[in-house]
Structure 1
Amino acid sequence: MNNIKRRNTKQRAIIYDIVASTNSHPTADWIYEKAKKVIPNISLGTVYRNLHILKEEEKIIEINDGKQSRFDARIDKHYHFKCLSCGNIYDIEKEDVLDIKDINLSNKGFDVLDASITLTGICPSCKKENN
């Protein structure tokens, strides 16, 4: 974490509140559209900059699936599931997934400190629609 002390801004607080108000793991564009309703003159660049700062300050996490980044204010240890049909991302509780830190890589010189897992598949809603 960067130890630079930044002042909290109204814009950053609003952006954080937008991310924290949903469990849909929003994109920067989605956050920008919501922020414009509160701060009409906010720019997309300001949203990206503040998301970066919030991530640096460990107040949010970024989930990148290789196509786009999504943001999550839930910073406790948990995993994610991305539906390949609808594109939604769901929180998966840590206890529902085997703990990857149990993998022993020390014999190869690695110390596993953390893991980020995004499972992919079809969510219950899409599965129900396709049956």
Structure 2
Amino acid sequence: MEKASRMTKQRKLILDVLRSTKSHPTADWIYNQVRGEMPNISLGTVYRNLGVLKEKGEILELNYGSSFSRYDCNPENHYHLTCTKCERVFDLKIPIQKQLVKEVMDIDGHKVLDHRLEFYGICKECKKQEVN
């Protein structure tokens, strides 16, 4: 376990690439960016390191039930909007609705550890293109 916790060159580069973008990229996109600086890195290494970074709480994995996940360098719980036209994912700067967790626990008696609320719509850039 000690080895997995160490900040390797590959892991640092992957994290730097994630932090350098406001998008929520796929592992393939990250892999292509990292290869520019580290040509011998494999896609499997990128996936393994993304998994370690997720386990350490340094990044979020956004899995929308599709065949690929997107990654977010902001590990704090926050909401997203996915554009149904361009498929980009945007962070929303609205407060987490903690009362929803309380309602679920009070009404159904479940123990809620976390929640994720996703919004789907048309981003402002795509909305501008619709007008033109």
Could you tell me which amino acid in structure 1 is paired with residue 27 of structure 2? A
The list of structure 1 runs, each at least 4 consecutive aligned residues, that deviate by more than 6 angstroms after superposition, is none
Q: Do the aligned partners of 1:28 and 1:70 also contact (CA within 8 Å) in 2? A: yes
SS at match of 1:48: helix
> Residues 94, 112 of structure 1: CA spacing in aligned structure 2 closer, same or farther, 3 A cutoff?
farther
Cα distance change, pair 94–113 in 1 and its aligned pair in 2 (3 A): farther
Question: Aligned equivalents of 1:16 and 1:39: distance in 2?
Answer: 14
CA distance in 2, matches of 1:77, 1:7: 25
What is the total number of aligned residue pairs between the two structures? 127
In the TM superposition, residue 7 of structure 1 has moved relative to its aligned partner by: 1.9
Residue aligning to 2:25: 26
TM-score, normalised to structure 2's length? Answer: 0.88
Displacement of 1:114: 1.3
Q: Deviations over 1:80-131 (max 9, x none)?
A: 1000000000001232x64432424334221223111221111111111112
Question: How far apart in 2 are the matches of 1:8 and 1:69?
Answer: 23
Give the % identical residues.
44
TM normalised by structure 1 equals 0.89
CA RMSD, Structure 1 to Structure 2 (Å): 1.5
> Unpaired runs of 5+ in structure 2?
none
CA pair 20-10 structure 1, distance change in 2 beyond 3 A: same
